Amino acid sequence: MPGWSEDISNVKTFDELPVNAQRYVLRVQELLGVPIRWIGVGPNRLDMIDRGEGWDLSTCKSADDNDLTYSSY
Protein backbone atom coordinates (compact mmCIF):
# COMPACT_ATOMS: atom_id res chain seq x y z
CA MET A 1 0.00 0.00 0.00
CA PRO A 2 1.18 3.53 -0.68
CA GLY A 3 2.33 5.51 2.34
CA TRP A 4 2.08 9.21 3.16
CA SER A 5 4.61 11.87 3.99
CA GLU A 6 2.28 14.47 5.52
CA ASP A 7 2.59 15.28 9.22
CA ILE A 8 -0.46 13.87 10.98
CA SER A 9 0.47 14.88 14.52
CA ASN A 10 -2.15 17.66 14.64
CA VAL A 11 -4.95 15.72 12.97
CA LYS A 12 -8.10 15.48 15.09
CA THR A 13 -10.56 13.64 12.81
CA PHE A 14 -10.46 10.71 10.40
CA ASP A 15 -11.40 13.05 7.52
CA GLU A 16 -8.30 15.17 8.18
CA LEU A 17 -5.96 12.20 7.62
CA PRO A 18 -4.24 11.98 4.24
CA VAL A 19 -6.18 9.78 1.82
CA ASN A 20 -3.52 7.03 1.90
CA ALA A 21 -3.64 6.99 5.71
CA GLN A 22 -7.43 6.64 5.57
CA ARG A 23 -7.10 3.79 3.08
CA TYR A 24 -4.53 2.10 5.35
CA VAL A 25 -6.84 2.24 8.38
CA LEU A 26 -9.79 0.96 6.35
CA ARG A 27 -7.73 -1.89 4.88
CA VAL A 28 -6.43 -3.00 8.29
CA GLN A 29 -10.00 -2.83 9.61
CA GLU A 30 -11.17 -4.95 6.67
CA LEU A 31 -8.40 -7.54 7.12
CA LEU A 32 -8.96 -7.86 10.87
CA GLY A 33 -12.73 -7.90 10.59
CA VAL A 34 -13.11 -5.56 13.55
CA PRO A 35 -13.86 -1.85 13.63
CA ILE A 36 -10.97 0.49 14.38
CA ARG A 37 -12.08 3.24 16.71
CA TRP A 38 -8.82 4.72 18.02
CA ILE A 39 -6.00 5.89 15.73
CA GLY A 40 -2.72 7.11 17.19
CA VAL A 41 -1.29 10.16 15.41
CA GLY A 42 1.64 11.08 17.65
CA PRO A 43 3.87 10.05 20.53
CA ASN A 44 1.74 11.46 23.34
CA ARG A 45 -1.03 9.65 25.11
CA LEU A 46 -3.67 12.13 23.94
CA ASP A 47 -2.53 12.17 20.30
CA MET A 48 -5.49 10.07 19.24
CA ILE A 49 -8.37 10.21 16.81
CA ASP A 50 -11.56 8.76 18.26
CA ARG A 51 -13.86 7.66 15.46
CA GLY A 52 -16.68 7.23 17.96
CA GLU A 53 -18.91 4.34 18.85
CA GLY A 54 -21.04 2.27 16.54
CA TRP A 55 -18.72 1.42 13.67
CA ASP A 56 -20.27 -1.36 11.64
CA LEU A 57 -18.00 -2.97 9.08
CA SER A 58 -20.95 -3.78 6.83
CA THR A 59 -21.66 -0.07 6.35
CA CYS A 60 -18.04 1.11 6.00
CA LYS A 61 -16.46 1.57 2.61
CA SER A 62 -13.56 -0.70 1.82
CA ALA A 63 -10.01 0.53 1.33
CA ASP A 64 -10.35 -0.08 -2.40
CA ASP A 65 -13.31 2.28 -2.84
CA ASN A 66 -12.58 5.61 -4.45
CA ASP A 67 -15.13 7.29 -2.20
CA LEU A 68 -13.71 7.15 1.31
CA THR A 69 -16.87 8.25 3.05
CA TYR A 70 -18.00 6.08 5.90
CA SER A 71 -21.03 5.89 8.08
CA SER A 72 -21.86 5.28 11.67
CA TYR A 73 -25.17 4.75 13.36
Q: Full-prediction pTM beyond 0.75?
A: no
Residue 46 neighbours by CB under 8 Å, 6+ apart:
none
How far apart, in whole angstroms, are the C-alpha atoms of residue 72 and residue 12?
A: 17
pLDDT at residue 70, as a whole number: 46
Q: Which of 22, 23, 55, 18 is nearest to 36 (CA)?
A: 55
pLDDT digits (tens, 9 = 90+) for 26-73: 999 999 999 999 999 999 999 999 998 766 565 555 556 655 544 443
